[in-house]
Chains A and B, each alone.
Chain A
Amino acid sequence: MEKVRRKITILRVLQVVFYALGFPLFVHLVMLANKPIADSYLAGNMTAYMAIIIAAVLWVVVILIQLLFKAICRKNRMARAVWVALFAAVITLAPVLYSDFMLKGEYDAIVDKYVEEGLSESKFYNYEKAITPEVFEESLANLNAEIKNYVAVYNLDMDALTGNNFGNNGDGSEVTYDEEAQAYYSPNGMFSDGYLFSLKQAIAVQRAYYENKLAYEAEGKDIDAELAAALLALENDKSSDWNKYKSGASASSFDKEGFEYIASEDEYELAYGEDGYAKKFYVTDDRLDAIASVIGGKLGANPDVGSLLSIIDMLPIELPEGLDINSLLTEDLTVDQLIDVINGLGLGKTLAGLMGSDAENITKDDLMNLLSGYSNYQSPSTYPIFYFLEDEALQEYAYANYYATIHGGKVGSVLVGENVGLMNLDNMAGTPNPYSTQGLLDMFDYWDAQTEIINNIYPMIAVRNTALKMSASIVFCILAAYWFTSKIDEQYAKLKLAKK
């Protein structure tokens, strides 16, 4: 009795081991082969699991066939085993045949499409080489490294490939997330105040910026000059949509087709009018004058200021005649007067030089321009001026330019220019841009091609490469498991039952 029992135990262990060496091992190996795909930044949500799903489905189909033959061949266990093994062979070879005969065409079509669009053919392997496990893994790893480098240069958030939002809008307006676009939007359709670019949107912004710029260049035009002229025209033309918008004209009077206000006709006035709420969030002329007034008033009232001004005599600075700083220090001090003092002290040229101009003196406009780079505020609840541009290419460029420089500068991801990425107090200059315009655009096209390949071809290739190696052993292991089952039954047949 005990001997029979031991034999049964051993046979049962062998039965389980051989079963596990079949499809369960196959699914496990597919999981391993799938890892480079799952780790790829370009894999869609489903793609990350697709190979595993395919492998599991193959396994389930074989289980169903096993059940079916259990019903058909009730008595002949070996016939059942042979049939199941045969089907298992066909099922495991299917991905190999499908990959080698059908997918090859699909792969070549993707490559041809992108080569026609201008990518060099040398960027792609031929199909037979591309699907070998080594090349397959290596090219996915290289691609990830390339993306990681791009993300680092522009200081995107690696943990937030789907985009990130650091909080609410400054004016408390609603922020909506568009999963497809991987972006957070404000009511005016622009990115929300704290939106940090997702990989997808960073690419979209740079494409819109560079492609339009190149298209204008090809026609011998300077897109920045064209944009500035178009914006000036909108500003100066009293009957332009922009001016109608600012004055709250009725929506039907706009040239822009289907124009609608975001909330109400007075939305612009509420934000930027006399007591506009948006003015809380940036430095205005009035705000600067108020600051000058407080400083002038308080310093003017302090008798020690006069005695300190004498230190200027000790410094190697010559004051122009008639400039009396002491008399300016009152509550009436304005920014214009301060600029006169700066120019009077001969510091205007130096400051203008810092702003990239070779003028002798600085003006208030220079100062406001400088400030607008640091203190710029676009209300999320009003349209920007470029919303009303008629030329679509110019409009697309205007938005991209705003996102890439102003929004990007704010969130620490400047996307265009000689220096890009994070610019802060520790690193005012940012990172030198390592990409050429054409190089960047080609890289995006290459990523697009790879995205199609990864999502449409690679999961099946992961299954194929595993199935190719395992097909024969799966069939063998299934047969072995059936054989051990029959041996177990033989042992049980030897047992007899004892009386109570």
Chain B
Amino acid sequence: MKNVLKTILYIIGFPALVALVAYNSLIIYEEGGTYGFWPFVGLIIAGLCLIVYTIVFIVTGKNSKKNKGNHKKVMKSVATLVVMAFVLTSGIWLVVDIALPGILKDATDGTRLFKHMQEDYKAQAEVHGQLLEDYIRMNCANGNLPVSDDFTEDDWVEAGYRSPEVQELLAQNFKSMDVNGYKTFTTNGPWLNMANNNRLTIPVLVHLVLNEREVDEEVTYYLAATLEPKQIVTDEDGDDVYKKPVANKEVETVLHWTILDMQGTSMNIDLSGALSGLGIDLGTLLGGTLEKPVSSILETVNEAIADPALAGAELYIGIDLRDDSFQIMLTPAAESRGMHGYQNSAWLNSNNLLFAVISIFPARQWLYIWGAVVIFSSVAVAALRVKQYGGKKEELVADDDDDDEPINVKGLNNYERTVVTALHARNKMK
């Protein structure tokens, strides 16, 4: 009966804990499923703790049985079980929690903080899963990942990071964005850091746009086709703002990046209000007779921007007439080239590590929460073992015997024995 009870207590302790970790990590496995073992790191750590705990559980059990009747030894062995239960649950994490925030901050350049992960690891898993999916879809659109009837866009998404093509493409193209983009800004002065710290003043912006930056001609970007945004986007276009891709003869190109590519999102300047006073319906004009010449001129302007005398890199100026608005669109080339902004691209580039880090959080959370149950069940098992094998506790044996010779007694602890011996010695001297 006691053995059955002990087995049940064992199961609601650590094995249940590991099951909880696995259950709460399902979304991570789903989102990061193509990243091999990385999303399972948290579970693996919990599993290792389970193995160690199980070994301690068995060994201390055998030990108690072997020392049946020896109260002191049985106590020692059950105490080991309880202490290990604490060390393997909360204990480890109290230590890890000191180091982890710093590691995370370094690994993500301060863009992902411990407190964010701690609060909402499930949302983080979704964000990082989505990064990969969006990346694959962007690269299917510009032909970097060729789509056919046999292997569709969804097949690419399904294959995910397992696909060697996706891995190679990401590694090569991120390097271009990093070396010929981000690093050219950071090695060229403090301007990008200032922009990132809410100090994007006009002089800083001018520096970011006009400073001449040197690129590494050895670092190439794989670009199967050029995908340009339409110069004028109307309601008819809906969400489809890109023209048809034009296949590149040279797929390996040395690319230059603008500051807007680092940001990754387009910038819209709404002029609807400012132009309404002119008394001319620009929307109708541009959507009709003037569409062709204006598109053509914008195309020329975009070419001029890409000239080394200006920004030296593609940046598309367009006009957005959707929903009766009149907005100037500044669209970076990043998306059409198949890249997120720099920060997202950098995360995607180390997504496997980030999934590993994210997977630690459910393990951490449940080791803390369920740790109490594990310790409780260990104490309960310990109590049962003491009852089963512990024997009787020894009685204290100090008495009022007149013989005041200092001798060893079991009832006094070392400190008391020293004090009493000294006092008796002093009284004798008197």
Contact = CB atoms under 8 A, between A and B. Distances in A.
Nearest to A5: B416
B304 to A, nearest CB: 5
A295 interface: yes
Nearest to B410: A500
Interface in B170-220: 186-194, 197-207, 210-212
A166 interface: yes
Contact of A493 (B194, B207, B423): B423
Interface string A277-289: 0001111000100
A281 B406 contact: no
A497 B424 contact: yes
A291 B290 contact: no
A428 B188 CA distance: 25
A281 B207 contact: yes
A229 B327 CA distance: 47
Interface stretch (A167-175, A262-270, A360-368): A167-175
A500 B210 contact: no
A308 B205 CA distance: 31
B189 A167 contact: yes
A299 interface: yes
Contacts of A194: 189-191, 193-194
A411 B194 contact: yes
B95 interface: no
Interface string B380-422: 0000000000000000111111111111110110001101110
Nearest to B400: A496
Contact of B202 (A193, A196, A411, A424): A424
B131 interface: no
Contact of A374 (B186, B187, B206, B427): B206
Contact of A167 (B193, B293, B412): B193
Given A290-B309, A304-B296, A498-B397, A169 B201 contact: no
B189 A308 contact: no
A120 interface: no
Query: In this complex, which of B199, B210, B419 has the most chain A Cβ atoms within 10 angstroms of its Cβ?
Result: B199
A464 interface: no
A410 B419 contact: no
B297 A170 contact: no
B303 interface: yes
Interface in A250-303: 280-283, 287, 290-291, 293-295, 298-299, 301-302
Contact of A1 (B212, B398, B408): B398
B167 interface: no
A283 B300 contact: no
Interface residues of B, number: 63
Contacts of B409: 497-500
A498 B203 contact: no
A497 B405 contact: yes
Contacts, number: 170
A498 B304 CA distance: 103
Contacts of B417: 497
B292 interface: yes
Contacts of B307: 294, 298
B292 to A, nearest CB: 7
Contacts of B207: 170, 281, 375
Category for how many chain A residues contact B: 35 or more
A451 interface: no
Contacts of B398: 1, 495, 497-498
Interface string B229-268: 0000000000000000000000000000000000000000
A468 B401 CA distance: 53
Nearest to A314: B280
A422 interface: yes
A423 B201 CA distance: 6
A27 to B, nearest CB: 27
Interface string A442-484: 0000000000000000000000000000000000000000000
A401 interface: no
Nearest to A408: B201
A295 B207 CA distance: 21
Query: In this complex, which of A280, A301, A423 has the most chain B Cβ atoms within 10 angstroms of its Cβ?
Result: A280
B310 interface: yes
B79 interface: no
Nearest to B192: A167
A198 interface: no
Contact of B204 (A295, A307, A314, A410): A410
B2 to A, nearest CB: 33
Contacts of B304: 294-295, 298-299
Query: In this complex, which of A2, A166, A373 has the most chain B Cβ atoms within 10 angstroms of its Cβ?
Result: A166
Nearest to A8: B416
A280 B210 CA distance: 8
Contact of A304 (B199, B293, B309): B293
B74 to A, nearest CB: 24
A411 B411 CA distance: 75
B294 interface: yes
A279 B293 CA distance: 36
A196 B210 CA distance: 22
B423 A489 contact: yes
B201 A422 contact: yes
A499 B407 contact: yes
Given A283-B206, A412-B199, A311 B290 contact: yes
A281 B212 CA distance: 7
A280 B212 contact: yes
A68 B297 CA distance: 95
A193 B256 CA distance: 24
Contact of A499 (B202, B210, B401): B401
A412 B201 contact: yes
Contacts of A497: 398, 404-407, 409, 412, 417, 420-421, 424
Given A280-B211, A375-B207, 18 more contacts: A1-B398, A168-B187, A168-B189, A194-B193, A196-B199, A282-B210, A299-B300, A302-B300, A304-B292, A304-B297, A305-B293, A315-B278, A411-B199, A412-B204, A422-B199, A497-B405, A498-B397, A498-B398
Interface of A: 1-2, 165-170, 172, 192-194, 196, 280-283, 287, 290-291, 293-295, 298-299, 301-302, 304-305, 307-308, 311, 314-315, 373-376, 409-412, 422-425, 428, 489, 492-493, 495-500
23 contacts: A165-B190, A167-B189, A167-B192, A170-B191, A193-B189, A281-B212, A294-B304, A304-B297, A307-B293, A311-B290, A373-B203, A375-B203, A423-B202, A489-B423, A492-B423, A493-B423, A496-B400, A496-B424, A497-B405, A497-B409, A497-B420, A498-B407, A498-B411
What are the 8 tightest A-B residue pairs by CB atom distance, in nearest-first order?
Answer: A194-B190, A167-B190, A170-B189, A304-B293, A280-B212, A412-B199, A166-B190, A304-B296
